[in-house]
Amino acid sequence: MIRHLSFLALSALAASPAFAQTVAAPGSPESSSAPAPSAPSAFVTATDPYAAKGLPLGGFRLYPTIEITGNYDDNVYLTETNPKEDFFARETPQAMLHSDWSRHELDVYAAGSFYQYDNYPLQDHIDWDAGGDGRLDIYQGLSLSGSGSYSAEHLANSSPDQPSSAKSPTPFSIVQSNATLAYNPYHFGFYVGGTFSRSLYEPSKLINGSLEDNSDRNEDSYSGFVKASYEFSPGYALFVQGNENSVHYDLPVDRSGIDRNNQGYTANAGLDMLITTLIRGQAFLGYMKQQFKAPFGEITGLNFGANVDWAVSSLWTVHLIASRSLNGTIIVNAATEDDKSFQLSADYRLLSNLTITGSAMYLDAAFDDSGRTDHYIEPRLQLTYHMNPWISVEMSDTFQRRNSTTAGQDFDDNIAFIGLKFQE
């Protein structure tokens, strides 16, 4: 639901400060989707001498990468008891074609993640994503930007909406698009835009050989926004923004006989930190209200978001991501999944070619009106050794714990991997 719009918000934030309803929730248990490659930035190049340089192709640069890892998971099905362990391989190819123009901008990308399990081949799956974004500089201070993408994903085993009797991950797809018209006369900025997202869920394959229909989860999501900003110091701008959204499901009622169509709005105020060599990103606070159909009421309260990168020194880079998002669910008696997430990470350059990355994530997932709340914690540690600018060795260990108010839904999981990454 609104999570789908948050992905659009994050991608638009990378291109301009125009769209920021919310930022993507770190550690979200909903999907095992392939990561979309990000456009190269002066910030990354300034803080990482091993950042990809790309291949020149006329007025573009091509940034191809592929990561190949061997992984060990000590709880594949993320169960509270009788955990099943397994080894699996993962290949993640990505390619970004980035324009190298003095005016306008265009990015086209494709990415995939291929999983192959040793003992549980029914868990094998492929996630992929393809799309593009661009900016048209119409006149001095006036621009039109937009993006569109298609992704094929699978519900992660940790998703509360994945059937406990599922034989394999449930596939679904998302089509997304957005557009923003921006006008920046001198220190002021004015923005207007909107997004559209279409989600389609395939049937879940169950252990007994039957199929569980998920057509009641198919939805269209719409959002529009207006924003005004004032740059009070070079690279820093205060803004106010209003968003309105609506979610429409294909079926009039879901499998529990509930009409889950809903609509709402947010009003936010915050700070844009425009791209510099030291700090970039956005942080905001605001108010949200989402109205649901009977038997549910409305959800109101604090809205917040942050996505900030800070190059503290030549050795340290700190990253902060925080968000609140409302996401559709099929859990009986739950109006929505209300996710409040926080992630803090840091990169430390131990040697000129050795980087250690540590992160900690906390996610509070409340299923409003049902009495269920899931709490996730996820610490992660990764070492990256750059053999040269094109090849690096990566080692990582990630622990995840879920504590749920619903009996039998707790789990601990640890995934470790070692792999190679190739880039140009």
pLDDT digits (tens, 9 = 90+) for 345-385: 999 999 999 999 999 999 999 998 888 999 999 999 999 99
Report the alpha-carbon distance of residue 340 to residue 358 in Å, rounded: 21
For residue 80, name the pLDDT band (cuts at 50, 70, 90). very high
Is the pLDDT confidence value at 23 over 80? no
Query: What integer is the mean pLDDT of 45-74?
Result: 89
Q: Mind listing the pLDDT tens digit for each residue in 250-275?
A: 999 999 999 999 999 999 999 999 87
- In this structure, the strands spanning 204-205 and 211-212 are antiparallel
Is the pLDDT confidence value at 5 over 60? no
Is the pLDDT confidence value at 301 over 90? yes
Of 13, 16, 67, the residue nearest 321 (C-alpha)? 13
102: Cβ–Cβ under 8 A, 6 or more apart, which residues? none
Report the alpha-carbon distance of residue 7 to residue 175 in Å, rounded: 11
**314: exposed, middle or buried (Cβ count in 10 Å: 0-12, 13-18, 19+):** exposed
Instruction: With beta carbons less than 8 A apart as the criterion, state whether 72 and 85 touch.
Output: yes
Q: Which two tokens stand for residue 199?
A: 């989600």
Which residue type sits at 401? R
When the pLDDT of each residue in the chain is averaged and rounded to a whole number, the result is: 89
Q: Mind listing the pLDDT tens digit for each residue in 242-253?
A: 999 999 999 999
For residue 138, the tally of other CB atoms under 10 A from its CB is 13
CA distances from 391 to 50, 68, 386, 421 (A): 10, 11, 6, 6
For the chain, state the CA radius of gyration.
Answer: 21
Of 37, 3, 33, the residue nearest 21 (C-alpha)? 3
- Return the pLDDT at 285: 98
